[in-house]
Structure 1
Amino acid sequence: MENLIREMTQSLHKGFIDRSSEHIGNFMPKLLVNNREENVLATIIDELHKCNAFSISVAFITESGIASLKTQLYELKQRGVTGRILTSNYLAFNNPKMYQELLKLENVEVRVTNVSGFHAKGYIFDHDFHTSLVIGSSNLTSNALKVNYEHNILLSSHRNGDIVHKVKNQFDQLWKESTPLSSEWIENYQIMYQPRPIKQLLEVEKEQVKLQNKMREAHAIIPNLMQSEALKSLSEIRARGEERALIVSATGTGKTIMSALDVRSYQPKCFLFIVHNEGILRRAMEDYQKVLADEPASSFGLLTGNQKDLDAKYVFATIQTISKPDIFECIAPKHFDYIVFDEAHRVAAGSYQKVLDYFKPEFMLGMTATPERNDTLNVFEIFHYNVAYEIRLQEALENDILCPFHYFGVTDYIADGVTIDDTNSLQKLTSDERLKHVLDRIDYYGYSGEALKGLIFVSRKDEAHELARKLTELGLPTVALTGEDKQVRRLEVIQQLKEGLINYIITVDLFNEGIDIPEVNQVIMLRATASSIIFIQQLGRGLRKSSNKEYVTVIDFIGNYKNNYLIPIALSGNQSQNKDTYRKFLTDSAVLNGVSTINFEEVAKKKIFESLNEVKLNSMKNLVEAFNNVKQRIGRVPLMMDFIEQNSIDPLVITSKAPFKNYHLFLQKLKETEVDLSDNASKNLVLLTREVAPGLKSVEHYLLTRLMEGEARKEELLDFVQEYDETVTMDDVEMALRIFDLSFFNKTIDKIYGKPLIIVHDKIVDLSPEFKLQLEDEGYVRYIEDILRLSQYNNEIHQNGQSDLLLYHKYSRKDFLKIKNFHNDESSTVYGYKVKEDMIPIFVTYHKQDDISETTQYEDEFLSQNEMKWFTKSNRKMMTEEVQKILHHQETNRTIYVFVQKEDAEGTQFYYLGTAHVIQGTEEQTAMPNGAPVVTMHLGLKTPVRDDIYRYLVES
């Protein structure tokens, strides 16, 4: 308790009296805003995770706002934590369905105040001995919590503090006078509910009609961000004399309208639009008719099995019909001067090839959401590697082009302690118990809008039919569609869903692409993720905007699937195959910009982490697939930076594969290089790949770039580097030189790294004769320049362009030594910690393996976010010289640096948690399980561990 009060006093002193105070306590007041780095929602989630009870007082609540917190509230229910929400019906903002969603929260009591003008926005979180408050401008709506310009203050007070007493007292008083939310109250509210006065609604409608008429008159369909950028790029490509181009754009981002706008600008004499699906074809023609509104209806025609409008100016054809020989006999090769291929990833098919070979238009445009295919033909090559524009899911969401979504990763049904998976029998997959579990989670997470219109993806056809039967019997009309159903039947069922005659369509992989149902407001995944591409295709079925929904609910039932690791890959859109990147994605509450959210129930998240730990993302299959995809995209053998620029695998994942110590060796294995390197030249590439390419320090790539121009004095090198990074010191330069002349490493390092790259003599630095000779080979220079570019990129992205330790970034023991400019590589002797003259780096693996020896079963433990119980090495006593140096580190100016990783499966990287000090009086002599003496003490962290990192490290 005394520590708590002292910590709170210091935090409040820094926050309200003297901001220059060194203390950064766990109770620092904080301004909460929404931007690309942070949002209000993340703080609310963090406080919910930690609290023992909570009270929320907000005037306005939306379904989307509640959805943003439903997973956290469910987890609180599992822990027995309850809360209260006080809201109102002020201005009739809150709709009746939202109140129904509030009733689903079993651990949350809700009341409605009748206070006139109620406009409160406050969040109260009770902890053991203190209370945290978030007070400001944010209502419980997705926009207020993630997007809008908001000002809120997070502050903490002791439970006896006056501010807490007054805030809680006011809340309690209003709570007593308010009406408990009930079904009866909602029914009465529904009768009276009028979201807008009728007169005002009519005026709005009149204005909309006027605007639509003006737009029709001016033919002014306004392009969105993607469309504007793509149109500009297409114009530039044609100005270069190019005849083909490709648009890569997520489903629902307006590719068809964009192409129509470009066609309007191009003004072709005859135009052809090709796609494989007649339903898509007809919708495309409707979009073109909107954009080309001044063209008569007779200008538009269909070329399908039943209709042959060959004389139309704008022809919309199915590939099945346009590829027939008798059609070619009727149309000359140059008849069309502009051709669009929708779903262009299909052009590898023989029917498309016939069309490509026959027609000779002035310009050809391909459009696809998923160009990376394993077909024998290269989509990028067919369109001459001219990618006019590329927008992926995350960017489209951020720019409000797609409908927002709330993703919920939930645990699939558990029977007898085992989670179900899609290898189970049909009987288990469709059992009443599993179906009840599924329906419970579906009901809890809900949907946006008045009527449920959902898609369910399962793993088997018989499962689809059986679940459809059972859901229909339970009052949720459902139809199963499979590949066996003909197009007419599919269109019929889709129309039933749109009209609300059924609630669900269940399918296997039928709707991965080529289907457009904007009305879908719920997507359910009852199957393993087969690939990140298919996952996004299925999720994307609900992302088209529609007036019937505010957002899409995506419920993913996560079972015992080996491919669970694909979920963060798909949702993040990051193809780096870097496990740490995906772990960060899973732990970060502010991972998506815009109002969309990603939520995992804890058991489900654990299964994904387990899958990540077990999978080998640098398998040869993954490496070759990534290489081929990038090569296809750019039309040549890629360098390492090409993988970065094409949003592909992290090239350092390639060089982490055992035989490929450098990228040249990988290319040799694939027989994709004619560059012939000496053994020493190849080893020098290993040195640069391991020590420079990660971009740990800014100095290394600048320094080597300068030395490749000629010799220089050390002072000149420092001046050169400081032009780019003024924080670099001579110690940093000396450290880099020790890497390049190999003096930093042990004496046998030349077996791996070859001969030194440089020679240092009388403060003059020059390249070694061997390295100079190697640089006479242009192919070798390309490798070197590629590594230096990658180093600079990594330094800017991962180290913010500088060379010091960054809080919560991950480092290995050797990384620490290099950043702190150690004279030699002592990483092999650091183990758990190392006591040096001016510093003590401490490395802790928080969750130890069960089979480690008794001599290393240290029970290091966080006592709070700013305090850790820590063990010295075994066979240490209180008066051991090493222990005394640690206990008295402040007196001798030794800085303690704390690094923690969750478990050994994370490899050699540890989170940097900042500096710490030994809390005096906490030291204790104790023993290990085998009886060996050991000393424990408490470390006080200068900066409390960030909430999401802390939860990740501590949770088992």
Structure 2
Amino acid sequence: MAKFKKRNHQEDALREIRKAEKKALVTKIQIEKRALVIMASGLGKTVLSAFYAKEWLKRHGGRVLYLCDQNYILEQAEVTFRSIIGGASSYGFFHGQEKTAHRVTFLFSSFQTMRESRNGFKQKEFSLVIVDESHHSHAETYLPTLEYFLPKFTLAMTATPDRTDLEDIREIYGKEIFSFPIETALAKGLLAKVNYQVVTDELQNLDFLKTPVGKLSIKALNKRIFVKKRDKEIADIIKRKMSHISNARTIIFCPSVYYCEHLSKYLPNSLPIHSKMSSREQDLRLKAFRNGTANTILTVDKFNEGVDVPETNVVIFLRSTASPTIFFQQLGRGLRKVDGKECVHVLDFVVNCERIEMLDGFWNKVRKNVKDVEKKGSLKGPVNIDVGSIRFTSVARDVLSVIAKIRGGYTKEVLMQQLQDLAKELRRVPMTREVDKASKKGVCATAETFANIFGSFNKALIEAKLGVNIRKGYSKKELIP
């Protein structure tokens, strides 16, 4: 059984959790009895929670409830807790496939099963509740369980606190007490080096990049330049790239269940895993990947969270997502450091303007964090940090340059037309949030761009002859400086 030692960032987190615990024990306000820890995938959130649970039992005793939404995460957590806390404590499961009948110290439960059976437990049954992947907490399956139990303390953990539906988990747990994001972890060398390649082969209509900026839009760029590759062509590129990687252990994120099954036919020694299979079949295939019987797994969203296969050294994106949260969850599957793993190789076939722009912004953040680490000298010895690279082809660089011009080089005429088109689609004057939502789809500029060029967003509306959005209690004079 693996032996675990606390790492420096885990010690830092534990100090903050202890402070939150002290406050929780003297307050009657429920949200103050909860603490949120944000930590990038691959940094050991489960290990952290096990060390803390061990401390908690020594100080307070009682029972511990560990909640998550995936059975395989619960099984991994139980193994980790048993290794750190030891066999003297009792452990059990409470989910669709297994329900421990006798009383145990540590109960590892799925949210789904606990929601259906929570009334069979006393509200103060558990002194400590640990919530893994806590960014789901607003969901209907989760919230009733969280509101039912009244533990002395709740510890919530996630790598990705910001949800795609904009529901803020801080409403449930309060502001995070400790945060260690992915860009900081990469800069400090705590995650595997990333060798990221954006596959931009065979882009078409490149002369379109020379179109005057005032007549360009992100939507038009995506439509004219980026071409979807054929399945066999993608499989051939994957096989060619992987032939240069020794002991490749690969996770491929696909756009659909059909695509998982279809593409696996072109890739030898690969297995699809998806929600259309029974839980038992999924578990068997995951075990085959873990033990090396299969070296490639194709999936849709099953591996976004919690699956721990540290040996994974290739991540391939075929699935487009507008959500940075999902992207970083999937990238995180390959970031855990283990002996013998030099780096994680990433192939990204999801090429569009938004993806290129997001990757460029992310890597700029990583580089900034590297400079901060070097400046502060927070690493021992001579500082020479190698976090890897994101390789953009010259064409991708050209696209980035055009995107920057589009974002910052709009003419007033183009912007007014964008507002008028959006108003026509909505059948009313657009609000700033609607403009920003449309901007993410490449339909128009951001509300901030309108404000910068016209002096304020409402001035842009007036020049576009659309009138002004007036909220109750504000005059036109106050809204239009």
SS in 1 for 2:346: strand
**Displacement of 1:320 after TM fit?**
1.8
CA shift in 2, pair 1:355/1:652, >3 Å: same
The offset of 1:657, in angstroms, is 6.9
How far apart, in 2, do the equivalents of 1:494 and 1:430 lie?
27
Structure 2 partner of 1:278: 71
Residue in 2 that maps onto 1:345 = 135
Choose from 240, 255, 264 the match for 1:468.
264
Q: Counterpart amino acid of 1:406? A: N
Residue of 388, 399, 409 corresponding to 2:198: 409
Is the aligned partner of 1:289 residue 2:82? Answer: yes
**Paired residues of 1:560 and 1:607 also in contact (CA < 8 A):** no
Structure 1 residues 555 and 434, CA, compared in 2 at 3 Å: closer, same or farther?
A: closer
Cross-structure match for 1:304: 95
Contact 2:356 2:396 in 1 (8 A): no
Q: Is 2:40 the partner of 1:250?
A: yes
Contact 1:563 1:611 in 2 (8 A): no
Where structure 2 has 5 or more consecutive residues not aligned to the other structure, the ranges are 25-31, 209-220, 367-383, 416-430, 438-445, 462-467
* Higher RCO (CA < 8 A, seq sep 6+): 2
Give 1:316-465 correspondences, 5 Å limit.
316-325=108-117, 327-329=118-120, 331-375=121-165, 377-383=167-173, 385-413=174-202, 429-430=229-230, 432-443=232-243, 446-447=244-245, 450-465=246-261
Aligned equivalents of 1:409 and 1:651: distance in 2?
30
Cα 1:612–1:508 shift into 2, 3 Å: farther
- Letter of the structure 2 residue corresponding to residue 382 of structure 1: I
Specify the code of the residue in structure 1 equivalent to 2:255.
Answer: S
Distance in 2, Cα, partners of 1:353 & 1:432: 44
Matches within 5 A, 1:843-862: none
State how 1:746-895 maps to structure 2 within 5 Å.
none
Matching residue of 1:502: 294
The structure that has the greater radius of gyration is 1
1:240 to 3, 20, 23: 23
Query: Does the Cα contact within 8 Å between 1:535 and 1:570 map onto a contact in 2?
Result: no
1:480 has 2:234 as partner:
no
Q: What does the per-residue CA deviation read over 1:254-284, in whole Å, with 9 as the maximum and x for residues that have no partner? A: 1111112222222231111001111100111
> What code does the residue aligned with 1:509 have?
D
How many residues are treated as equivalent by the alignment? 404
SS at match of 1:540: helix
Name the structure 2 match of 1:644: none
- 1:513 maps to which residue? 305
**Do the aligned partners of 2:115 and 2:142 also contact (CA within 8 Å) in 1?**
yes
Distance 1:467 1:415 in 2: 24
1:524 aligns with 2:279: no
The match for 1:738 is none
Is 1:222 aligned to residue 16 of structure 2?
no
- 296 and 233 in structure 1: CA distance in 2 versus 1, 3 angstrom threshold: same
Output the TM-score relative to the length of structure 1. Answer: 0.38
Q: Distance in 2 between matches of 1:670 and 1:517?
A: 54
The residue aligned with 2:106 is 314
Alignment-mate amino acid for residue 403 of structure 1:
A
CA shift at 1:414, angstroms?
5.0
2:452 maps to 1:656: yes
Identify the structure with the greater strand proportion: 1
Spell out, residue by residue over 1:934-955, the C-alpha distance to the aligned partner (whole angstroms, 9 max, x if none): xxxxxxxxxxxxxxxxxxxxxx
**Matched-pair contact (CA < 8 Å) for 2:470–2:479:** no
**In 2, are the aligned partners of 1:532 and 1:569 still within 8 Å (CA)?**
no
1:342/1:624 CA distance change after superposition, 3 Å: farther
Matches of 1:433 and 1:244 in 2, distance apart? Answer: 50
Q: So what's the TM-score if we normalise by structure 2? A: 0.72
Q: 1:287 to 1:655 in 2, by over 3 A?
A: farther
Q: Provide the rounded CA distance (Å) in 2 between the counterparts of 1:457 and 1:418.
A: 32
The question of whether the paired residues in 2 share the 8 Å contact of 1:345 and 1:373 is answered with yes
- The aligned runs of 1:610-629 (5 Å cut-off) are 610-614=402-406, 620-621=432-433
Q: SS in structure 2 opposite 1:246?
A: strand
The answer (yes or no) to whether the contact 2:198–2:351 under 8 Å persists in 1 is no
Alignment of 1:591-670 (within 5 A): 593-614=385-406, 620-621=432-433, 655-656=451-452, 658=454, 660=456
**Deviation at residue 380 of structure 1 after TM alignment:** 0.5
For residues 879-901 of structure 1, the C-alpha deviation after alignment (integer angstroms, 9 at most, x for no partner) is xxxxxxxxxxxxxxxxxxxxxxx
Letter aligned with residue 436 of structure 1: D
Distance 1:315 1:669 in 2: 53
Partner residue in 1 for 2:330:
538
Check the 8 A contact 1:334/1:360 in 2, yes or no: yes
CA distance in 2, matches of 1:435, 1:572: 31
Q: Closer, same or farther in 2 for the Cα pair 1:408/1:358, shift >3 Å? A: same
Residue identity in the other structure for 2:250:
G
Distance 1:438 1:290, change over 3 A: closer
User: Per the alignment, do residues 656 and 224 of structure 1 end up closer, same or farther by CA in structure 2, a change over 3 Å counting?
Assistant: farther
* % identical aligned pairs: 26
Distance 1:470 1:404 in 2: 29
- CA–CA distance in structure 2, aligned partners of residues 281 and 550 of structure 1: 29
Higher deviation after alignment, 540-549 or 610-619:
610-619
Q: 1:413–1:438: 8 Å Cα contact kept in structure 2?
A: no
Where does 1:893-932 land on structure 2 (aligned, <5 Å)?
none
Aligned CA distance change for structure 1 residues 423 and 480 (closer, same or farther; 3 Å): farther
> What CA distance in whole angstroms lies between the structure 2 residues aligned with 1:560 and 1:317?
40
C-alpha distance in 2 between matches for 1:418 and 1:430: 23
Shift of 1:678: 9.3
Give the superposition deviation at 1:624. Answer: 6.4
Is 1:348–1:376's contact at 8 Å kept on the other side of the alignment? no
User: Residue in 2 aligned with 1:262?
Assistant: 52
| Matched residue, 1:797 | none
Checking the alignment, whether the CA contact within 8 Å between 1:411 and 1:558 is kept in structure 2 is no
Residue-by-residue CA offset, 1:45-93 (whole Å, 9 max, x unaligned)? xxxxxxxxxxxxxxxxxxxxxxxxxxxxxxxxxxxxxxxxxxxxxxxxx
Question: Which amino acid in 1 is paired with 2:155?
Answer: L
Q: Distance in 1 between matches of 2:126 and 2:453?
A: 50
Q: 1:555 aligns with which of 340, 347, 350?
A: 347
**Matches of 1:407 and 1:310 in 2, distance apart?**
49
Task: Please list the CA deviations of residues 768-826 of structure 1 after superposition, one character each: whole Å capped at 9, or x if unmatched.
Answer: xxxxxxxxxxxxxxxxxxxxxxxxxxxxxxxxxxxxxxxxxxxxxxxxxxxxxxxxxxx
Specify every segment of 5 or more residues in structure 1 that has no aligned partner in the other structure, as ranges: 1-208, 575-591, 626-649, 684-751, 753-956
Secondary structure at the aligned position of 1:335 is classed as coil
Alignment pair present for 1:566 and 2:358? yes
Q: Is the 8 A contact 1:405 1:597 kept in 2?
A: yes
